[in-house]
Protein backbone atom coordinates (compact mmCIF):
# COMPACT_ATOMS: atom_id res chain seq x y z
CA UNK A 1 0.00 0.00 0.00
CA UNK A 2 2.77 2.41 0.91
CA UNK A 3 4.62 1.60 -2.31
CA UNK A 4 1.51 2.35 -4.36
CA UNK A 5 1.01 5.64 -2.53
CA UNK A 6 4.66 6.59 -3.16
CA UNK A 7 4.31 5.73 -6.85
CA UNK A 8 1.14 7.80 -7.18
CA UNK A 9 2.77 10.73 -5.40
CA UNK A 10 5.90 10.47 -7.58
CA UNK A 11 3.78 10.30 -10.71
CA UNK A 12 1.75 13.33 -9.64
CA UNK A 13 4.90 15.33 -8.88
CA UNK A 14 6.44 14.38 -12.22
CA UNK A 15 3.25 15.30 -14.06
CA UNK A 16 3.09 18.71 -12.38
CA UNK A 17 6.77 19.39 -13.11
CA UNK A 18 6.22 18.59 -16.80
CA UNK A 19 3.06 20.72 -16.94
CA UNK A 20 4.75 23.70 -15.27
CA UNK A 21 7.73 23.33 -17.59
CA UNK A 22 5.50 23.33 -20.69
CA UNK A 23 3.54 26.28 -19.30
CA UNK A 24 6.75 28.25 -18.80
CA UNK A 25 7.88 27.46 -22.36
CA UNK A 26 4.54 28.79 -23.61
CA UNK A 27 4.59 31.95 -21.50
CA UNK A 28 8.33 32.69 -21.85
CA UNK A 29 8.15 34.60 -25.19
CA UNK A 30 5.35 36.83 -23.90
CA UNK A 31 7.22 37.42 -20.63
CA UNK A 32 10.38 38.30 -22.56
CA UNK A 33 8.42 40.78 -24.68
CA UNK A 34 6.94 42.50 -21.61
CA UNK A 35 10.27 42.72 -19.80
CA UNK A 36 12.09 43.95 -22.91
CA UNK A 37 9.56 46.77 -23.28
CA UNK A 38 10.92 48.24 -20.02
CA UNK A 39 14.60 47.93 -20.97
CA UNK A 40 16.90 50.56 -22.37
CA UNK A 41 18.99 49.89 -25.45
CA UNK A 42 22.00 48.95 -23.31
CA UNK A 43 20.01 46.30 -21.41
CA UNK A 44 18.61 44.88 -24.64
CA UNK A 45 21.98 44.50 -26.36
CA UNK A 46 23.86 43.13 -23.34
CA UNK A 47 25.53 39.72 -23.70
CA UNK A 48 24.74 37.26 -22.28
CA UNK A 49 21.08 38.30 -22.40
CA UNK A 50 19.43 39.26 -19.14
CA UNK A 51 15.77 38.72 -18.34
CA UNK A 52 15.29 41.57 -15.90
CA UNK A 53 15.88 45.22 -16.80
CA UNK A 54 18.53 46.90 -14.68
CA UNK A 55 16.98 50.34 -15.06
CA UNK A 56 13.33 49.80 -15.93
CA UNK A 57 11.32 52.73 -17.25
CA UNK A 58 8.29 53.65 -19.34
CA UNK A 59 10.34 55.58 -21.89
CA UNK A 60 9.77 52.97 -24.60
CA UNK A 61 5.99 53.32 -24.28
CA UNK A 62 6.17 57.11 -24.32
CA UNK A 63 8.51 57.14 -27.32
CA UNK A 64 6.39 54.58 -29.20
CA UNK A 65 3.23 56.66 -28.71
CA UNK A 66 5.06 59.73 -29.98
CA UNK A 67 6.74 57.99 -32.92
CA UNK A 68 3.52 56.59 -34.40
CA UNK A 69 -0.19 57.45 -34.03
CA UNK A 70 -0.99 54.37 -31.96
CA UNK A 71 -4.14 56.04 -30.67
CA UNK A 72 -5.55 56.15 -34.18
CA UNK A 73 -4.42 52.58 -34.85
CA UNK A 74 -6.12 51.42 -31.66
CA UNK A 75 -9.35 53.24 -32.48
CA UNK A 76 -9.44 51.68 -35.95
CA UNK A 77 -8.73 48.17 -34.68
CA UNK A 78 -11.24 48.37 -31.85
CA UNK A 79 -13.96 49.82 -34.07
CA UNK A 80 -13.46 47.18 -36.76
CA UNK A 81 -13.15 44.28 -34.29
CA UNK A 82 -16.22 45.30 -32.28
CA UNK A 83 -18.30 45.90 -35.42
CA UNK A 84 -17.40 42.53 -36.96
CA UNK A 85 -17.95 40.73 -33.64
CA UNK A 86 -21.42 42.22 -33.16
CA UNK A 87 -22.27 41.56 -36.80
CA UNK A 88 -21.27 37.92 -36.60
CA UNK A 89 -23.20 37.39 -33.38
CA UNK A 90 -26.35 38.65 -35.13
CA UNK A 91 -25.97 36.91 -38.51
CA UNK A 92 -24.56 33.66 -37.14
CA UNK A 93 -27.22 33.37 -34.45
CA UNK A 94 -30.02 33.75 -37.01
CA UNK A 95 -28.46 31.28 -39.45
CA UNK A 96 -27.66 28.82 -36.65
CA UNK A 97 -31.24 28.94 -35.36
CA UNK A 98 -32.56 28.26 -38.85
CA UNK A 99 -30.29 25.25 -39.28
CA UNK A 100 -30.96 23.92 -35.77
CA UNK A 101 -34.72 24.39 -35.43
CA UNK A 102 -36.46 25.30 -38.69
CA UNK A 103 -37.44 22.47 -41.01
CA UNK A 104 -37.25 23.20 -44.73
CA UNK A 105 -36.36 21.26 -47.84
CA UNK A 106 -32.63 20.80 -48.34
CA UNK A 107 -31.73 22.12 -44.89
CA UNK A 108 -29.09 19.50 -44.11
CA UNK A 109 -27.57 19.59 -47.59
CA UNK A 110 -27.37 23.37 -47.47
CA UNK A 111 -25.77 23.21 -44.03
CA UNK A 112 -23.09 20.78 -45.23
CA UNK A 113 -22.36 22.98 -48.24
CA UNK A 114 -22.20 25.98 -45.95
CA UNK A 115 -19.91 24.06 -43.62
CA UNK A 116 -17.72 22.99 -46.53
CA UNK A 117 -16.71 26.59 -47.13
CA UNK A 118 -14.59 26.32 -43.98
CA UNK A 119 -12.20 24.09 -45.94
CA UNK A 120 -11.50 26.83 -48.49
CA UNK A 121 -8.36 28.80 -47.52
CA UNK A 122 -8.96 32.48 -46.99
CA UNK A 123 -6.17 33.33 -49.42
CA UNK A 124 -8.24 31.84 -52.26
CA UNK A 125 -11.07 34.34 -51.80
CA UNK A 126 -8.95 37.41 -51.10
CA UNK A 127 -8.52 38.52 -54.71
CA UNK A 128 -12.24 38.09 -55.66
CA UNK A 129 -13.23 39.90 -52.46
CA UNK A 130 -10.78 42.70 -53.23
CA UNK A 131 -12.20 43.07 -56.77
CA UNK A 132 -15.76 43.32 -55.44
CA UNK A 133 -14.73 45.96 -52.93
CA UNK A 134 -12.82 47.82 -55.65
CA UNK A 135 -15.90 47.89 -57.90
CA UNK A 136 -17.95 49.21 -54.98
CA UNK A 137 -15.37 51.91 -54.28
CA UNK A 138 -14.78 50.68 -50.74
CA UNK A 139 -11.00 50.35 -50.79
CA UNK A 140 -9.35 52.19 -47.88
CA UNK A 141 -12.65 52.49 -45.98
CA UNK A 142 -14.15 50.93 -42.88
CA UNK A 143 -16.58 49.01 -45.10
CA UNK A 144 -13.69 47.09 -46.63
CA UNK A 145 -12.46 46.05 -43.18
CA UNK A 146 -15.88 45.22 -41.72
CA UNK A 147 -18.38 43.97 -44.34
CA UNK A 148 -16.49 40.85 -45.59
CA UNK A 149 -16.31 39.52 -42.03
CA UNK A 150 -19.94 39.99 -41.00
CA UNK A 151 -20.82 36.33 -41.64
CA UNK A 152 -18.94 33.20 -40.62
CA UNK A 153 -19.44 29.51 -41.32
CA UNK A 154 -17.52 28.63 -38.18
CA UNK A 155 -19.68 30.89 -36.02
CA UNK A 156 -22.85 29.43 -37.53
CA UNK A 157 -21.62 25.90 -36.87
CA UNK A 158 -20.60 26.72 -33.29
CA UNK A 159 -23.94 28.30 -32.40
CA UNK A 160 -25.94 25.65 -34.22
CA UNK A 161 -24.30 22.90 -32.18
CA UNK A 162 -25.08 24.78 -28.97
CA UNK A 163 -28.69 25.54 -29.96
CA UNK A 164 -29.29 21.83 -30.48
CA UNK A 165 -28.47 21.18 -26.81
CA UNK A 166 -31.32 23.49 -25.68
CA UNK A 167 -34.51 21.49 -24.93
CA UNK A 168 -37.15 22.01 -27.61
CA UNK A 169 -39.85 21.93 -24.90
CA UNK A 170 -38.93 25.51 -23.99
CA UNK A 171 -39.73 26.66 -27.51
CA UNK A 172 -42.96 24.67 -27.61
CA UNK A 173 -44.12 26.28 -24.37
CA UNK A 174 -43.25 29.75 -25.68
CA UNK A 175 -45.04 29.01 -28.95
CA UNK A 176 -48.18 27.97 -27.06
CA UNK A 177 -48.03 31.31 -25.22
CA UNK A 178 -48.08 33.08 -28.59
CA UNK A 179 -44.39 33.84 -28.99
CA UNK A 180 -43.18 34.16 -32.59
CA UNK A 181 -40.03 32.62 -34.02
CA UNK A 182 -38.23 35.94 -33.59
CA UNK A 183 -39.45 36.16 -30.01
CA UNK A 184 -38.28 32.63 -29.26
CA UNK A 185 -34.83 33.39 -30.68
CA UNK A 186 -34.30 36.70 -28.89
CA UNK A 187 -36.07 35.97 -25.59
CA UNK A 188 -35.30 32.29 -25.00
CA UNK A 189 -32.53 30.89 -27.19
CA UNK A 190 -30.01 33.73 -27.06
CA UNK A 191 -30.20 34.30 -23.27
CA UNK A 192 -29.51 30.58 -22.78
CA UNK A 193 -26.69 30.65 -25.33
CA UNK A 194 -24.46 33.16 -23.52
CA UNK A 195 -21.52 30.69 -23.27
CA UNK A 196 -21.56 30.01 -27.01
CA UNK A 197 -22.00 33.69 -27.86
CA UNK A 198 -19.09 34.59 -25.58
CA UNK A 199 -16.95 31.94 -27.26
CA UNK A 200 -17.83 33.28 -30.71
CA UNK A 201 -17.16 36.83 -29.53
CA UNK A 202 -13.69 35.93 -28.21
CA UNK A 203 -12.71 34.01 -31.33
CA UNK A 204 -14.01 36.70 -33.67
CA UNK A 205 -12.52 39.64 -31.77
CA UNK A 206 -9.13 37.93 -31.56
CA UNK A 207 -9.13 37.03 -35.24
CA UNK A 208 -10.14 40.49 -36.45
CA UNK A 209 -8.00 42.46 -34.02
CA UNK A 210 -4.90 40.39 -34.90
CA UNK A 211 -5.57 40.31 -38.64
CA UNK A 212 -2.74 41.70 -40.73
CA UNK A 213 -2.98 40.41 -44.28
CA UNK A 214 -6.48 41.67 -45.13
CA UNK A 215 -5.77 45.12 -43.70
CA UNK A 216 -2.54 45.23 -45.69
CA UNK A 217 -4.49 44.58 -48.90
CA UNK A 218 -7.41 47.01 -48.49
CA UNK A 219 -5.82 49.87 -46.50
CA UNK A 220 -3.67 52.55 -48.15
CA UNK A 221 -3.74 55.63 -45.92
CA UNK A 222 -2.17 56.06 -42.49
CA UNK A 223 -5.43 57.16 -40.84
CA UNK A 224 -7.05 53.81 -41.77
CA UNK A 225 -4.25 51.57 -40.49
CA UNK A 226 -4.98 49.02 -37.78
CA UNK A 227 -2.69 48.14 -34.88
CA UNK A 228 -1.10 45.13 -36.56
CA UNK A 229 -0.46 47.01 -39.79
CA UNK A 230 0.90 49.96 -37.84
CA UNK A 231 3.26 47.68 -35.89
CA UNK A 232 4.64 46.17 -39.09
CA UNK A 233 5.33 49.59 -40.58
CA UNK A 234 6.71 50.75 -37.23
CA UNK A 235 9.10 47.78 -37.26
CA UNK A 236 10.32 48.59 -40.75
CA UNK A 237 10.76 52.22 -39.82
CA UNK A 238 12.58 51.56 -36.55
CA UNK A 239 14.41 48.29 -37.11
CA UNK A 240 16.97 48.66 -34.32
CA UNK A 241 14.72 50.11 -31.62
CA UNK A 242 13.54 46.83 -30.09
CA UNK A 243 12.36 48.49 -26.91
CA UNK A 244 9.78 50.62 -28.71
CA UNK A 245 8.73 47.68 -30.87
CA UNK A 246 8.17 45.50 -27.80
CA UNK A 247 6.23 48.31 -26.12
CA UNK A 248 3.96 48.60 -29.14
CA UNK A 249 3.49 44.82 -29.20
CA UNK A 250 2.51 44.78 -25.54
CA UNK A 251 -0.06 47.53 -26.12
CA UNK A 252 -1.47 45.56 -29.06
CA UNK A 253 -1.80 42.41 -26.95
CA UNK A 254 -3.56 43.92 -23.94
CA UNK A 255 -7.12 44.10 -25.40
CA UNK A 256 -7.00 40.40 -26.31
CA UNK A 257 -5.86 39.42 -22.82
CA UNK A 258 -8.48 41.58 -21.14
CA UNK A 259 -11.27 40.17 -23.30
CA UNK A 260 -10.21 36.60 -22.63
CA UNK A 261 -10.00 37.07 -18.86
CA UNK A 262 -13.40 38.79 -18.77
CA UNK A 263 -15.11 36.09 -20.89
CA UNK A 264 -13.04 33.12 -19.68
CA UNK A 265 -15.89 31.47 -17.76
CA UNK A 266 -18.34 31.60 -20.66
CA UNK A 267 -15.59 30.77 -23.16
CA UNK A 268 -14.80 27.45 -21.47
CA UNK A 269 -18.49 26.58 -21.13
CA UNK A 270 -19.11 27.33 -24.79
CA UNK A 271 -16.23 25.15 -25.97
CA UNK A 272 -17.37 22.32 -23.67
CA UNK A 273 -21.07 22.33 -24.53
CA UNK A 274 -21.02 23.18 -28.25
CA UNK A 275 -20.00 19.66 -29.28
CA UNK A 276 -22.47 17.67 -27.17
CA UNK A 277 -24.89 16.93 -30.01
CA UNK A 278 -24.37 16.06 -33.67
- What span, in angstroms and rounded, lies between the C-alpha atoms of 243 and 55? 13
pLDDT of residue 121: 84
Q: What is the pLDDT of residues 70-114, one digit of tens each?
A: 888 888 999 999 999 999 999 999 999 999 888 888 888 888 888
CA atoms within 13 A on the CB side of 273: 22
Distance separating alpha carbons of residues 102 and 181, to the nearest angstrom:
9
pLDDT digits (tens, 9 = 90+) for 174-206: 888 788 888 888 888 888 888 888 888 888 998
Q: Residue 273 in contact with residue 162, Cβ under 8 Å?
A: yes
CB-based contacts of 97, cutoff 8 Å, min separation 6? 159, 160, 163, 185, 189
The separation between CA 84 and the C-alpha centre of its own chain, rounded to angstroms, equals: 11
How far apart, in whole angstroms, are the C-alpha atoms of residue 134 and residue 255?
31
CA nearest 210: which of 236, 242, 232, 237? 232
pLDDT of the chain along its 278 residues, tens only? Answer: 566 666 677 777 888 888 888 888 888 888 888 888 888 777 777 777 777 777 777 788 887 777 778 888 888 999 999 999 999 999 999 999 999 888 888 888 888 888 888 888 888 888 899 999 999 999 999 999 999 999 889 999 989 988 888 888 888 888 887 888 888 888 888 888 888 888 888 889 989 998 988 999 999 888 898 988 888 776 665 555 777 778 888 888 888 778 777 766 666 665 555 444 44
> Distance from first CA to last CA of the chain, Å, rounded?
45
Per-residue model confidence (pLDDT) at position 258? 80
Amino acid sequence: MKMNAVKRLSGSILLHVVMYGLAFITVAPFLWMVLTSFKGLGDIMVYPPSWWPKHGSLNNYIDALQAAPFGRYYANSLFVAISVTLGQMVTCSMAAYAFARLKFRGRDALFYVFLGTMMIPGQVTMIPSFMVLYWLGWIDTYQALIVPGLASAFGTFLLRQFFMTIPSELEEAASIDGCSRWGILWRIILPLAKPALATLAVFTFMGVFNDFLWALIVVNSEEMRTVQLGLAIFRDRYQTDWGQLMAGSVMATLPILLLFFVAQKYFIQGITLSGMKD
